Structure 1
């Protein structure tokens, strides 16, 4: 009898309306950089919409995992884009005033712009600490 009353209350309770939320228009792979064109608006349940980023907030960010079409993008699904990727060949630059010395290297970790990263100098086989400055370039501090 208690179960029947509970079922009647549950059935009579108003269901929250679906809200229009920005969702992905296509599936995106891990490492893809999002743009505003990757989004469309769809009605989803409030629980699914919770924490969804707007297209403006997600644009220019790199996905941290594969995301399916029709799903909202949340803050933990994206990160600033990586300038340097682990195992990638990079240019190691030492800049002091007008002097610029470069050498080929290999990144030992992923890094975004301004992030510290260790690199292997391919000319000397030494490991150096530097900062990712642009795509494929790591700057080390002058001694």
Structure 2
């Protein structure tokens, strides 16, 4: 019985699967299930669950067979640089919309600089789930 207790108390390494790229994936590509593969060894600091990567966007080039780290992925961008977007200013009962040109790429909830096409002024707003930009004071 003592021997069994000693074996239970000894540190053991638990093998877990590691998520790797099945093929080379370019930056700014959305990850699909066929892009991923699991290998049977544990690499600390990498993803093990394919569901955590599917639907995300690659921030950097992911090479085939290399482990995927959480920092390699980001939510997919809804707005691309130079895309024409709708700007919304909403305050109380007032709602004003205008067209603008995105000055960068952004995902939902990100802050983004946009040039108002009518006034040529630059404003900063938050990207919504529809890809529109809410500018002005934050709503509580």
TM-score (norm 1): 0.70
Of residues 53, 57, 63 in structure 1, which corresponds to 2:58?
A: 63
* Alpha-carbon contact 1:84-1:135 (below 8 Å) kept: no
- Report the RMSD for the aligned CA atoms in angstroms: 2.6
Query: What aligned pairs does 1:1-143 form with structure 2 within 5 A after superposition?
Result: 20-43=17-40, 49-53=43-47, 54-96=49-91, 100-141=95-136
In structure 2, the gaps of 5 or more residues are: 1-12
Deviations 1:9-46 (A, max 9, x none): xxxxxxx9x964222222211011223442222345x5
SS at match of 2:24: coil
Partner of 2:128, secondary structure, is: strand
Residue 9 of structure 1 is matched in structure 2 by none
Q: Deviations over 1:78-106 (max 9, x none)?
A: 12222222322212123346764332211
Matched residue of 1:134: which SS? coil
Q: Which of 1 and 2 has greater Rg?
A: 1
Contact 1:35 1:55 (C-alpha < 8 Å) held by counterparts: no
Instruction: Give TM-score scaled by structure 2 length.
Output: 0.71
Q: Is the strand fraction higher in 1 or 2? A: 1
Q: Which is helix-richer, 1 or 2?
A: 1
Contact 2:108/2:131, CA 8 A, preserved across alignment = no
Question: Which structure 1 residue ranges, 5 or more long, are not aligned?
Answer: 1-15
